[in-house]
Amino acid sequence: MLSNPLATEPVGGRAALAGWNARLELRFEREAARTVLTTRRHVGPLRVQKSLHPEGPEVCQAIIVHPPGGIVGGDSLAIAIDAGAGAHAQLTTPGAAKWYRSAGPVAHSTTVLRLAAGALVEWLPQEAILFDGARAAIALRIDCASGARFIGWDVTCLGRTASGERYASGSLRQSLELHCDNALLFSERAAIDGGSRALQSGAVLSGAPVFGTFIVAGLAVPDPLLSACRAVGCDDGAGAVTRLPQVLVGRYKGDSAHAARTYFATLWRLLRPLVAGREAVLPRIFST
């Protein structure tokens, strides 16, 4: 979600320079009936312009902004989000994260979400788009204390599918981990090489360029709500929902990032009243 404005995509004829070493640190605290953004530190062009309360004082919304709009080989990004006891934070992005083609260096992105007891974090970023030739290492880690709740998703698009581009070269190393009370509850890792035969395998993606994961953690999802989630269909591609001990996992695989977001947003609307005790209000940035 960050690029060096001096280091640019080789397709445009610009020479790649040293990448950014960028960081963003945010902390949300509960003060009486209000959640506030108490800490905001950044290095490089990765920041939150201001915190918002579109649903009232209890929910603090922050939009993580990356003005340059793309990530190049050699960039290193680190995002750390802390939610204090009882805080309710909702985080999203104004657009897709674009990972540009690299002549060799790998770009890295690490996001760590730490939730104290009774905290709730909603992680609702738009998709990551890997241009053909991108070399990316992407990690998301969620650490929940006892009584914390999490709901969110992650969507990846291999190639610019809207223009017919396929991920014919490059590499993606991706991980997602969920820890609760210092115990690992869910972990998945992907090792994808652009253009490899494995991408066509039914055991991997069956040729689908878009995939994603949706997670709810910190509370039990009752049977009727699980059935309602499983009844949700996809406009394009395929989705599925699995209930594990202490975790609900949704999956998407298909040809459309928009369909993936729509599918996950529908699950989020169904589950948010249980997770957050309030009806779903889609972030306004999604409509701009």
User: Could you give the 3-state DSSP secondary structure of residue 141?
Assistant: strand
User: Could you give the 3-state DSSP secondary structure of residue 257?
Assistant: helix
* The pLDDT of residue 189: 95
Report the number of distinct structural domains present in the chain: 1
Phi/psi at 198 (nearest 5 deg)? -60, -30
Q: Output the average pLDDT for the chain.
A: 90
| Global confidence as pTM | 0.91
What is the span of the domain harbouring residue 128? 10-287
Asked whether residue 97 is domain-assigned, the answer is: yes
CB 161 within 8 A of CB 209: yes
Instruction: Inform me whether the pLDDT recorded for 40 exceeds 60.
Output: yes
In tens, the pLDDT along 196-232 reads 887 887 777 888 999 999 999 999 999 999 999 999 9
DSSP 8-class letter at 197:
G
Higher pLDDT among residues 139 and 103, named by residue:
139
Which uninterrupted H or E stretch holds 190?
A: strand 183-193
Asked whether residue 218 is domain-assigned, the answer is: yes
CB 19 within 8 A of CB 75: yes
Asked whether residue 1 is domain-assigned, the answer is: no
Please list, residue by residue across 234-257, b when 16 or more beta carbons sit within 10 angstroms of its beta carbon and e when fewer do: bebbebebebeebbbbbbbbbebb
**What percent of the chain is predicted at pLDDT more than 90?**
77
Asked whether residue 130 is domain-assigned, the answer is: yes
C-alpha span between 142 and 177 (Å, rounded): 6
Asked whether residue 178 is domain-assigned, the answer is: yes
Average pLDDT over residues 94-121: 95
Instruction: Inform me whether the pLDDT recorded for 70 exceeds 70.
Output: yes
* The pLDDT of residue 18: 60
Instruction: Inform me whether the pLDDT recorded for 3 exceeds 90.
Output: no
* The pLDDT of residue 23: 93
Average pLDDT over residues 159-176: 93
In the chain the first and final C-alpha atoms are separated, in Å, by: 19
Asked whether residue 5 is domain-assigned, the answer is: no
* The pLDDT of residue 13: 32
| Assigned token pair, 232 | 């949700």
C-alpha span between 2 and 78 (Å, rounded): 10
Residue 111 pLDDT class (50, 70, 90 cuts): very high
Asked whether residue 3 is domain-assigned, the answer is: no
Asked whether residue 160 is domain-assigned, the answer is: yes
Lowest mean pLDDT among 48-62, 79-93, 198-212, 224-238: 198-212
Which uninterrupted H or E stretch holds 152?
A: strand 149-158
Amino acid at 170: G
Instruction: Inform me whether the pLDDT recorded for 4 exceeds 70.
Output: no
In tens, the pLDDT along 231-241 reads 999 989 999 99
Average pLDDT over residues 7-13: 33
